[in-house]
Amino acid sequence: MRSRATHAAFSLIEALIALSITSLAGAVLLLSVQSSLDTTMDAVERTIADGIAQQTLDEILTKRYSGEGDSPLANVLGPLTSELLALGTSLFDDTDDYAGFVMQPLKGTYGELLGTGDDNGNLRLANFRVRSDFFSNWRVRTLIYYVGADDHTVTSATPTNFRAIEIHVERVETDGKVISLATRKRVVTYIPPPS
């Protein structure tokens, strides 16, 4: 008599179920990795944007409150035509020159693409430059306006000795949607010299 030996094995259906479970777990794992990468990239962009906003604010704060011989209570804020002749902001000599200033793509003081220049108007070595299209859909908007003397959160319709400086760094999507990446605001004051 022959004894029948039983062989343990997976049936086709069991193998298909195991394969389905494995592929479902793999898909979930890939989705979580993609989500983590998107979150990381968003955090990196926001950190860079905050640095750009702070750097722009610092650049403005190094300028005079008003141009030499100009009234600190000027009704119209903005650059002179001669100050707009430069490719960047190198001719801006007082804070009101930045009023309404919009820069896209982002550029340095001398008009070079941001991340490509060396602080003297020259280009960095090629290995130290940011990809030329990295900031192509980013923009910086600068608002400068008078605020109330008693309440600096209220925009003043008339000139006061207090100006708000707002820097907005934004990314403009191809469909026109604007995503705010960073905002910085500072209120500065004009103190008349002693008579």
Q: What is the pLDDT of residues 129-170, one digit of tens each?
A: 888 788 889 999 999 999 999 999 999 999 999 999 999 999
Work out the mean pLDDT of the chain and round it to a whole number. 88
Q: Tell me whether residue 106 is in a domain.
A: yes
pLDDT score at 30: 87
The verdict on pTM exceeding 0.95 is no
Q: Tell me whether residue 24 is in a domain.
A: no
Residues of the chain above pLDDT 70, percent:
95
Q: Tell me whether residue 136 is in a domain.
A: yes
Of the candidates 71, 142, 60, the residue with the CA atom closest to the CA atom of residue 95 = 60
Q: Tell me whether residue 28 is in a domain.
A: no
Q: Tell me whether residue 44 is in a domain.
A: yes
Question: Residue 84 sits in which domain range?
Answer: 34-189
Instruction: Name the 3-class secondary structure at 1.
Output: coil
9, pLDDT greater than 80: no
121, pLDDT greater than 80: no
> How many independent structural domains does the chain possess?
1
Q: Tell me whether residue 117 is in a domain.
A: yes
Looking at 147-194, which runs of residues are DSSP E strands?
162-172, 178-189
- Tens of pLDDT, residue by residue over 12-21, are 888 889 889 9
Strand 178-189 to 162-172 pairing: antiparallel
Q: Tell me whether residue 161 is in a domain.
A: yes
